Structure 1
Amino acid sequence: MGKVEKRVTGIGGFFFKAENSKELVTWYGKHLGLKTDDYGSTFWWKNNEGEACSTQWSPFAADTAYFAPSEKQFMQNFRVENLENLLKKLADEGVTIVGEMETYDYGKFGWILDPEGNKIELWEPIDKVFQ
């Protein structure tokens, strides 16, 4: 049996709209003890290979266009392997791709829509940039 190619390897983040995102970050830090910064809170964990990985929790401004074309109040981010190849496979499978893949020093990003119009961010991370 051949090697099964991984798609999603974990949760990369959970993003949601908030009326006052900065105030909410402060509240979560004070009352729930989250270690916060301007973007929310980063949770560190190790994958099955023992490598350090991160998951981001971030409130966004209520009027953000970042979740578009979805009109939902949240957006999931999944960690993936080989984003470029995965986006090609998803397109071949009839999945709606949103925009073009973007590359940064901390990884590659792509976006898709699920059947209910929820925008999903796919992230091929480079975690070592954050360490």
Structure 2
Amino acid sequence: MQRVTGIGGIFFKCKDPEKMRQWYQTHLGIDMSPYGAKISSQTESGKEGYTLWTPFPDTTSYFGPSEQSFMINYRVADLEALVAVLKEEGVSILDELVAHEYGKFIHIEDIEGNKIELWEPAE
């Protein structure tokens, strides 16, 4: 079973997300939106994909319960099947699977309590 197929996003806390977006736009040429940068890529199956790079306010609770200042979103091929396997393996599942128009999501924790986001993109 294929598990992670790529990096779906890199999210990090900062004091001023707007200033951070502007700095990266000005100095590194990363085209930004209010949601961060969408960096295009190609999946192993040849489909077009992307990775989000997003600064969050340092007050966000989105990374909780972890106290970490970052969170990585991993792209997966079949989230429901992977979650079933992870449960069997005793991995800590933090919430229920949710579906949006852009894909399915769930959050897990690694062995040090770092929150991880798993994402199956919508077709």
**Shorter-chain TM band:** over 0.9
Correspondence 1:1-131 to 2 at 5 A: 5-126=1-122
Equivalenced residues, count: 123
Q: Which stretches of structure 1, 4 residues or longer, exceed 3 Å deviation after superposition? A: none
How much has 1:51 moved relative to structure 2?
A: 1.0
**RMSD between aligned alpha carbons?**
0.9
Output the CA distance in 2 between the equivalents of 1:115 and 1:59: 25
Output the CA distance in 1 between the equivalents of 2:42 and 2:26: 26
Question: Secondary structure of the equivalent of 1:91?
Answer: helix
TM-score, scaled relative to structure 1 = 0.91
How much has 1:48 moved relative to structure 2?
A: 2.6
Output the CA distance in 1 between the equivalents of 2:118 and 2:67: 18
**Cα deviations by residue, 1:3-51 (Å, 9 ceiling, x for unpaired):** xx11100001100000001110111011100011001101001123321
Output the CA distance in 1 between the equivalents of 2:85 and 2:25: 40
Listed as ranges, the gaps of 5+ residues in structure 1 are none
TM-score, scaled relative to structure 2 = 0.96
Output the CA distance in 2 between the equivalents of 1:48 and 1:19: 36
Instruction: State the percentage of identical aligned residues.
Output: 47
